[in-house]
């Protein structure tokens, strides 16, 4: 099949490209390399059945052409990460909403199956974990800008479901919970790569707040196995589906685990939220997915643990640090 992956030079998109290319599909990636990296897909370039286009999903004319010639569309392009959302507030909203509008519009016109990733952030300040897809949602005020990411993604969800309702566009909305693994950069506030890298360098590990907030981390390879299955299962069309791992850990315990597993001399440093993100930041205390729906629809069951994730991320950084030292 011909598969279009927007944002395919990013973290999740590039792993998805690897999987689908290995499965024998023709892959086209469109990415503006804003948070993605060429090095994530460099190994695919020059191979048969692979094409990389550096451009934006807001280029509607190009997107129409790419979508018309594709059999499946995975719309992974987005502004991503809490730090980016706080630092570039206008661009964040525009990229998320306008990009998805362009993609859904052409997928509806040409009747293409499309997967729209959303995020566990849409569960907002909900406290009744595990989060189920049909739960009510409580968000903070619009003066707290962190909620802009969740609200823009929620609007994407509404638009996707509206296309399903109005014209039966075969669309699947996936709420990704924290997804981690090799290739994810710590640059945009992603906690696992930042902690592991600091631990390997024996540097202090900054933990925001008191570190009692908890998260669940899913291995990117578990996630990219699930995404194509969702798009090949008609029962998933017009549905919102959680994908993640339900193993929960506090952020402080995560930092301590990264220290222990890498044999590091690092120490945990607690940093107040205002110092880390400035005014207008709020965090969620817990975020645990219910994965019952994905289990029922596609038999989803993550097979990789947090320990696997830390080991895989640490191996990648060790290779990078070795290469940096050799070049110094």
Q: Catalog residues that contact ligand NAD under the rule CB under 6 A.
A: 6-7, 9-13, 30-36, 56-58, 76-78, 80, 95, 99, 117, 119, 176, 178-179
DSSP state of 214: E
Nearer to ligand NAD, 29 or 268 (CB): 29
At its nearest, how many Å lie between ligand NAD and the CB of residue 309? Answer: 11
91-113 burial: b if 16+ Cβ within 10 Å, else e: ebbebbbebbbbbbbbbbeeebb
Contacts of 159 (CB under 8 A, 6+ apart): 100, 101, 104
Nearer to ligand NAD, 60 or 261 (CB): 60
Nearer to ligand NAD, 38 or 322 (CB): 38
At its nearest, how many Å lie between ligand NAD and the CB of residue 174? Answer: 8
Q: 136: how many CB neighbours lie within 10 A of its CB?
A: 8
Nearer to ligand NAD, 119 or 262 (CB): 119
149 catalytically annotated? yes
At its nearest, how many Å lie between ligand NAD and the CB of residue 190? Answer: 7
Say how far apart CA 56 and CA 64 lie, in whole Å. 12
At its nearest, how many Å lie between ligand NAD and the CB of residue 21? Answer: 16
Work out whether the CA dihedral 172, 302, 216, 92 comes out positive or negative: negative
At its nearest, how many Å lie between ligand NAD and the CB of residue 233? Answer: 19
At its nearest, how many Å lie between ligand NAD and the CB of residue 289? Answer: 11
Q: Are 35 and 82 in contact (CB under 8 A)?
A: no
Catalytic entry in 149, 188, 273, 277: 149
Q: Are 73 and 65 in contact (CB under 8 A)?
A: no
Nearer to ligand NAD, 153 or 252 (CB): 153
Q: How far lies 144's CA from each of 89, 98, 188, 273, 278, in Å? A: 11, 22, 18, 13, 11
Nearer to ligand NAD, 243 or 266 (CB): 243
E strand or H helix at 53: strand 50-54
Say how far apart CA 160 and CA 162 lie, in whole Å. 5
> Which residue's entry shows tokens 């925001």?
208
Q: Two tokens at 86?
A: 């706080």
In this structure, the strands spanning 214-216 and 248-250 are antiparallel
Tell me which residues are annotated as active site.
149
């Amino acid at each position: 099949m011909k598969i279009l992956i927007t944002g395919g030079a990013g973290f999740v998109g590039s792993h998805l490209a690897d999987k689908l290319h290995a499965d024998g599909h023709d892959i086209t990636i469109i990415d503006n390399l804003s948070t993605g990296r060429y090095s994530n897909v460099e190994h695919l370039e020059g191979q048969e059945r692979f094409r990389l286009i550096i451009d934006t999903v807001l280029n509607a004319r190009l997107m129409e052409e790419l979508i018309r010639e594709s059999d499946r569309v995975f719309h992974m392009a987005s502004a991503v990460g809490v730090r980016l959302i706080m630092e570039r507030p206008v661009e964040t909203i525009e990229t998320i909403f306008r990009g998805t509008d362009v993609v859904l519009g052409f997928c509806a016109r040409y009747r293409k199956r499309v997967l729209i990733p959303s995020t566990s952030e849409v569960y907002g300040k909900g406290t009744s974990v595990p989060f189920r897809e049909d739960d009510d949602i409580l968000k903070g005020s619009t003066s707290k800008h962190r909620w802009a990411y969740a609200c823009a993604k929620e609007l994407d969800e509404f638009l996707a479901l509206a296309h399903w309702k109005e014209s039966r566009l075969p669309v699947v909305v996936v709420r990704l919970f924290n997804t981690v693994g090799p290739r994810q950069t710590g640059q945009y506030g992603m906690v696992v790569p930042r902690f592991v890298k600091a631990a390997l360098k024996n540097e202090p590990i900054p933990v925001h707040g008191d570190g009692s907030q908890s998260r669940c981390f899913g291995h990117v390879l578990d996630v990219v196995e699930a995404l194509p299955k969702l798009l090949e299962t008609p029962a998933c069309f017009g549905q919102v589906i959680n994908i993640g791992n339900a193993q929960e850990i506090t952020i402080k315990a995560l930092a301590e685990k990264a220290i222990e597993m890498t044999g590091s001399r690092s120490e945990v440093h607690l940093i107040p939220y205002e110092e880390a993100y400035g005014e207008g930041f709020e965090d969620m205390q817990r975020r645990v997915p219910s994965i019952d729906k994905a289990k029922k629809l596609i038999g989803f069951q993550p097979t990789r643990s947090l320990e696997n994730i830390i080991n895989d991320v640490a191996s990648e950084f060790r290779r990078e640090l070795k290469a940096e030292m050799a070049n110094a």
